[in-house]
Amino acid sequence: MNRAGRGGGLARPGFRTLTAGLLLTAALWAVFALNSQIQVFGFGDAGPDARSFPRLVLWLLAGAVALRLILSLRIEDAPLGDMSRLGRVLAVTASTALALWAMRQFGFFAGAAGAGFVVAIVLGERRPLLLGLPLIVAAIVAYGGRHGLSIPLP
């Protein structure tokens, strides 16, 4: 980032604006949902209750992020880049999510190997040996986890 740029913020949003925007939305939603998400049963105790600390940190977070967004208007943002790069990130995230969702039906080996294979493809790997590596790693991890570490993998 540099201050000599044309400015960022809402005019030319990048990663910082996107992240700060998401944080602000989440913080404000959490403040809004505070009473419904935290039930307080009063027993006449003095001092803060279960809502006090979350309320304080959420308002502080919302204020700090709002300040960051305002200050970011003068600072060049980290660009989002072309959509294919973001597409690769989404592909890895979606394939991992799919692997987790499918793990209950198809087991750890199939899910983990599938996710690893997609990661390899997305990262531009085309050599058969390196494309086969996720299968080998998933097999070793599944076998070692179940029999070596006694972990009840799905």
Partner 1 sequence: MLIDAFVELLNLWVLVAALAGIVSGIIIGAIPGLGPTMAIALLIPVTFSMEPIPAIVLLLGVYQGAIFGGSISAVLLNVPGTPSSAATAIDGFAMARRGEGGRALRLALYASVFGNIFSCLVLMALAEPLARFALDFGPAEMAMLMLFALLVIVLFGGGSKLDALIMVLVGACAGVVGLDPISGTPRYTFDSFAFENGFQLIPVLIGLFAMSEVLLQAFDSEPLVGDAEVPPLKSSVVRFAELWQMRVTLLLSSTIGTFVGILPGIGSTVPAFMSYNLARSRATDADQFGKGAPEGVAAPEAANNAVTGGALVPTLALGIPGDAVTAVILGAFMLHGLAPGPFLFRDHGLEVYAIFEALLLSSIPTVILGLLFFRIAIHVTRIQPRHLLPAIAILAIFGAFSVNNILFDVWVMLGAGVLGFLFRRSNFPLPPLLIGLILGAPFEQSLRQALLTSGGGYDIFVESPITIGLVALIFLSLAISLTLDLRKARA
Considering only residues 90-109, where is the footprint of partner 1 by CB under 8 A? 91-93, 96-97, 99-100, 103-104, 108
**Residue 4 or 42 with smaller CB distance to partner 1:** 42
11 contacts partner 1 (rule: CB under 8 A): no
134 contacts partner 1 (rule: CB under 8 A): yes
CA dist 114 and 57 (Å) reads 40
CB of 38 to partner 1, least distance (A): 5
**Residue 73 or 122 with smaller CB distance to partner 1:** 122
Taken in order 25, 30, 31, 33, the sign of the CA dihedral is positive
CB of 6 to partner 1, least distance (A): 18
DSSP 8-state secondary structure symbol assigned to residue 51 = T
**Residue 9 or 58 with smaller CB distance to partner 1:** 58
Query: Are 120 and 134 in contact, with CB atoms under 8 Å apart?
Result: yes
Q: Which helix (H) or strand (E) element contains residue 78?
A: none
76 contacts partner 1 (rule: CB under 8 A): no
- Residues 41-70 within binding reach of partner 1 (CB under 8 A): 41, 45-50, 52-54, 57-58, 60-61, 64-65, 67-68
Query: Are 112 and 94 in contact, with CB atoms under 8 Å apart?
Result: no
**Residue from 2, 4, 6, 39 in contact with partner 1 (CB under 8 A):** 39
CB of 104 to partner 1, least distance (A): 7
User: Is residue 67 exposed (0-12), middle (13-18) or buried (19+ Cβ within 10 Å)?
Assistant: exposed
Angle in degrees, 0-180, between the axes of helices 83-122 and 128-143, rounded to the nearest 10 = 70
- Token pair for residue 25? 């939305």
74 contacts partner 1 (rule: CB under 8 A): no
